[in-house]
A and B are shown apart, each in its own frame.
Chain A
């Protein structure tokens, strides 16, 4: 069986996997990082989004072995070591950007990438940028509010209270 070596949330990891093992299976089943969800398993919903070398990708549509030598960040890797939420996570809580929470890890990971790519965000950019993330609960309105606030907080370097 092939082995794959990568960084996951800052830690070096080497595991034996099958060629067909998906990245999301490596994360959830081999490493116990169950914050990354599988919603559709058909590349549509974005519940499985993680960062690979800083870019958001659907981890259900990538083989674990394709992540060889990369740095992967999952939702578990966003908060500070003392548990302080990442500004984007804090903004989702503050602005009620979630209901059942199933889509939330993927939403947050996509949103962080979007904010890092664009810096300042406007509503249109957020709605287009979240094209690959589906939420069955919220109607997106508060998600968009949360991402706009989270992006500003990331720029300012501090969490921002709801308006």
Chain B
């Protein structure tokens, strides 16, 4: 790891000031992605701004029909939260399936979405539920937030503060986990949002996307057989040592059918 200047602000205002106007500064949340990246010398920040002591960024609350989760809330806290389990049980289950217990104790919602790994789980939840990402300067609709592989709409010095999730009707997330890391080889989130069925896919393509053909096929109701006639084009899907594009294309349909069947 290259040397850097470490900062431990205790307020969001101070964190924002430390990050602003310094292109070589990096935000540190749970560190489960950033620290391995620094160890491999794939990044060389001059300054690291740790959000760990900024209390206002952590926590879960219910705001009418919306669930608001602070950016630095660890996955384990989301998984165990009675509020999340009551409002959006599929989201609690998604958090419970991330990585392993130690990754869930440190890794955060904000870190996961800002990293936008093509195989990360949370992006599927944000996009399917139509969540809103709150930052230090604005509010961004989830579908505008995830812009490409490891890319988001964030400005370099913008900090994600929270995510607001509208409460869905029936919903379920099912993934085919990578057997080593548990990242989604393919993960599909199906949810009823505002009387419409929505389907979001992670792991398959460079970034999360909505599978509109499946949404149309499911307009008549949450029946897995409604997806039987669809095919997924492997062209442009991710292909790596874990799975070919063809295999991922097949998994998209299988995971989608399982998610529809699991909707509660």
Contacts and interface: CB of A to CB of B under 8 A. Distances in A.
Interface of A: 2, 18-20, 22, 41-44, 46, 49, 55-58, 61-63, 65-66, 68, 110, 113-114, 129, 131-133
B35 A63 contact: yes
B2 A20 contact: yes
B31 A63 contact: yes
A131 B32 contact: no
B170 interface: no
Contact of B105 (A20, A42, A57): A57
Contacts of B31: 61-63, 66
B50 A46 contact: no
A61 B101 contact: no
Interface string B49-83: 01011000000000000000000000010000000
Closest 6 pairs between A and B when the two form their complex, measured CB to CB: A132-B100, A19-B6, A131-B100, A20-B1, A55-B105, A132-B102
Nearest to A48: B102
Given A43-B36, A57-B106, A62-B35, A19 B101 contact: no
A157 B160 CA distance: 45
Interface string B1-23: 11111101000000000000000
B3 A42 contact: no
B103 interface: yes
B114 interface: no
Contacts of A49: 102
A43 B101 contact: no
A44 B102 CA distance: 10
